[in-house]
Amino acid sequence: MLRRHLLALPAALGAATLARPALAQDRTLALYSSRHYDTDRALYDGFTAETGMRIRLIEGDADQLIARIQSEGANTPADVLITVDGARLARAVAAGIMAPTTSQVLQGRVPASLRDPEGHWYGVSRRARVVMFDKQRGRPAGLDRYEDLAKPEFRGQILVRAAAHPYNTSLMASIMVADGEQAAEAWARGVAANLARPPQGGDTPQFQAVAAGVGGLAIANTYYLARFGASSNPAEKAVYDRIGVIFPNQGAGDRGAHVNVSGAGVVRSSANKEMALKFIEYLTGPRAQELFANGNFEYPVVADVAPHPALAALGTFRADEVNAQRYGALAPQALQIMQRAGWR
């Protein structure tokens, strides 16, 4: 996917161009987003067509946006914050910048595990964090759960990005919730011992390295592989056809696969809270959910919207229903444990 690299608006413009009265008069909603996908623009254009409310988009790294909203304080132009992963959403809640909200629409559409219990944020899309393998070598025996990745028979096989990335700290936090801190640290130590190479790159290079024979198992999010499945590039399509997916912890009584959630919440200082909440409701509607699914190969959060065929072809799964805010809040501790265990 093409990434957008829009510069944040200069601070000098903050007091004039982004003043709250001007926003209200111009019918503009200020969206701070760490999602850098061109396809999301269609979501915002659809909201404008439906309501007449224009979206003013400010993009950046999630932590930078959180810090910016904090520094802007009561004068922030931000109405909505949208970011990826429970760890980042939990950081925004802990920073005190998100408003608690109530919406019967969102409570009816978004599963309880994918929204903050107090309405500080609501999930709008999902990615499953799975284990990928080379179909030509066959599905590895004895690998059905995340916990199995620490087994000594997988020594020198695992490919994964750095521990500090929120995708991994959230996964680790979910292991802590499921198995306890002591067992989770033992698991992280086993994964670190089983690495095929030092953690490096994003998720895509991990399954590409599996196809290249560098290692046998990649930990990655589903949407990266689904992109290859829909690609017009023959080399990427060949990788997609070669890589198999294991959705972990699917056995009877087991907790299900870990998912990363993209979530949106109303900023506490927003002067447009009603419209901001309406925008989040719009993001969970059928048309917007179809755009998340078909534009960026993510799983919808609502049950009646189908995923993209390239994503659906990876298989069906049951998701872990632990609330994302819970494991997101554990992410800092999870990172400490991972680094202590040798997963850098």
The series of mean pLDDT values per 10 residues for the chain, 344 residues long, is: 37 36 63 90 94 96 96 96 95 97 98 97 98 98 98 98 96 97 98 98 98 98 98 98 98 97 97 97 96 95 95 98 94 97 96
Residue 101's pLDDT is: 98
Is the Cβ–Cβ distance between 152 and 191 less than 8 Å? no
Length of the chain: 344
Query: Of the candidates 37, 40, 38, 32, which has an alpha carbon nearest to the alpha carbon of residue 62?
Result: 32
Could you tell me where the DSSP H helices lie in the chain? 20-26, 40-51, 62-72, 86-94, 104-109, 166-179, 181-193, 204-211, 222-229, 234-242, 273-283, 286-296, 309-312, 324-329, 331-340
The pLDDT of residue 6 is: 35
Q: For 127-257+318-340, which CATH class?
A: alpha beta
CA distance 304 to 58: 31
Cβ atoms of residues 114 and 256 within 8 Å: no
Rg from Cα positions in the chain = 20
8 Å CB contact between 86 and 121: no
CA–CA dist 43, 55 (Å, integer): 10
CA–CA gap between residue 302 and residue 195 (Å, rounded): 36
* Rounded Cα gap, residues 5 and 60, in angstroms: 8
What residue has token string 């695992």?
A: 158
CATH superfamily of 11-126+260-306: Periplasmic binding protein-like II (3.40.190.10)
Collapsing DSSP states into helix, strand and coil, what is residue 337? helix
Q: What three-state secondary structure class fits 127?
A: strand
What pLDDT does residue 17 have?
A: 36
- 122 Cβ contact partners less than 8 Å away, ≥ 6 residues apart: 103, 106, 110, 114, 115, 116, 263, 264, 265, 280, 284
Contact 159, 209 (CB under 8 A): yes
Strand partners, 319: 257
Ranges for all domains in the chain classified under CATH 3.40.190.10: 11-126+260-306, 127-257+318-340
